[in-house]
Homo-oligomer: A and B are copies of this chain.
Amino acid sequence: MPLITRCEKNEKRERSLALRDAIELLGGKWKICILQNLSLYGTMRFKDLQEEVAGISSKVLTKELQQLEQNFLVVRTINNTKPVTVSYSLTEHAYETRNVFNALLEFGAKHRAVVKSGGG
């Protein structure tokens, strides 16, 4: 445990908080995938999302979308159609998660290579 002054430690603590926030906001099995799909397609209906995010149930999708909406990452729009349809899209702010999933993507791809070659 080297060479970190108290000042540097405080900076570190503050960054840890931002990190924790981000992990809580984007955590879980599905949120990143949902955001990525919305980022890719722009606007999607509930059913489209359920098809693209393979394996998610409607119950879970509902809950995830509600949480994302509460955190200002997703906008829900009710369309005046028959039957009623609902559209989801990202907020401006949510596009800043792009770096996150790009980084995850890159890491995931490299990890596969590492595992194939036997680790380390």
Contact = CB atoms under 8 A, between A and B. Distances in A.
Interface string A21-45: 1110111110011001000111011
B22 A111 contact: yes
B33 A111 contact: no
A99 B12 CA distance: 17
Given A27-B27, A114-B93, A108 B20 contact: yes
Nearest to A31: B23
A108 B18 contact: yes
Interface of A: 1-2, 4, 12, 15-23, 25-29, 32-33, 36, 40-42, 44-45, 48, 54, 71-72, 91-93, 96-97, 99-112, 114-115, 119-120
